[in-house]
Amino acid sequence: MVPSFVTMAIARITLIRRALAGVGIVAIVAYLGAIVYLVTQETAIVFSPGRPLGELRPKTPFEQVWVDGTTGPRQLAWVMRTATDSETRPWVLYLHGNGANIATRMNILHYERLWQLGLNVLAPEYRGFGGVEGVPSEAGLNADARGSYEYLRQQLHVDPRRIVIYGWSLGSAVAVDLASNVDEAAVILEGAPASLVAIGQRRYPYFPIRLLIRNPFESIMKIDKVRSPVLFLHSPEDVIIPIDEGRRLFDAATQPKHWVEVAGGHVYAAEKDPGFFKAVRAFLQSHRLLP
């Protein structure tokens, strides 16, 4: 006859095995549920497009126009011309990042300061942002940027040698894609990630992000096709796009290229660092785009 303590031990082991199996099943279900969440919520996570346009407007004179997209809906855009010599001054095509729109305060600050440097500015809105119809995607934003570029070329008759493509944060990936496919005078990238896949993998290290993501925004695969001068602005304090991501993109770019470290983090460098727009001016002057 089996001693009672042996029977009890076997029962306990059985219970532990069942409990561990239950925990394992729960963990697997939770993991798969997290994957489903990341896949289904990618648009909200990557783009965060829902913010309304709001009431903020540039203090500079501006015109609101509608741009016919190459695909998808018409785009809302703001046009800001310099007070003098607007027909000969360079144009900045400004492409903003995610979680914002053309009327966000820091975007407006950029327009105003670029305008003060003596640059015309075109600030287009993406599909799904700021009340514009459509659902954002990497292909959609790239098409929107191309539509705005064609507006400069076809409607405003701007020579490519007077076009500067400016991208901030996610907009830098859109800027790299555009600049790798068109002619332009220069490119400015602020807080630029080499790859959104790499950023996603950092934030979600236990998930196969490369297999899941539909909008990888891998600028590092395109930057070598940009042949115009490129200015990289990045803050060591940037916790959203770590500076090593920006350096990785810079290293992959071809000459001529310029690297400038700025203070203030990912969002506020343009506002907090007094040397920020001085660096922009110096870059444009060095390539004869500003006097």
Confidence at residue 5, expressed as pLDDT on a 0 to 100 scale: 57
Question: Could you tell me if residue 45 is inside a domain?
Answer: no
Summary mean pLDDT of the chain: 90
Query: Residues 128-154: what's their mean pLDDT?
Result: 95
d(CA 24, CA 179): 49
| 146-185 per-position pLDDT tens digit | 999 999 999 999 999 999 999 999 999 999 999 999 999 9
Please give the tally of structural domains in the chain: 2
Per the structure, the complete domain to which residue 101 belongs is given by 50-286
Residues 27 and 122 placed together within one structural domain of the fold: no
| Least trusted range by pLDDT, from 5-19, 40-54, 170-184, 190-204 | 5-19
Residues 122 and 176 placed together within one structural domain of the fold: yes
Residues 209 and 258 placed together within one structural domain of the fold: yes
Residues 121 and 247 placed together within one structural domain of the fold: yes
**Under 8 Å between Cβ of 91 and 158:** yes
Residues 168 and 278 placed together within one structural domain of the fold: yes
Q: How many CB atoms lie within 10 A of CB 31?
A: 12
Residues 221 and 247 placed together within one structural domain of the fold: yes
CATH number at residue 267: 3.40.50.1820
Residues 12 and 155 placed together within one structural domain of the fold: no
Residues 64 and 20 placed together within one structural domain of the fold: no
| 37-77 per-position pLDDT tens digit | 666 777 888 898 878 898 999 999 999 999 887 777 788 99
Backbone phi and psi for residue 202, each to the nearest 5 degrees, phi listed first: -65, -40
Question: Could you tell me if residue 189 is inside a domain?
Answer: yes
Residue 3 has pLDDT above 60, yes or no: no
Question: Could you tell me if residue 291 is inside a domain?
Answer: no
Contacts of 13 (CB under 8 A, 6+ apart): none
| 214-258 per-position pLDDT tens digit | 999 999 999 999 999 999 999 999 999 999 999 999 999 999 999
- Tokens representing 199 are 């950023």
Backbone phi and psi for residue 199, each to the nearest 5 degrees, phi listed first: -65, -45
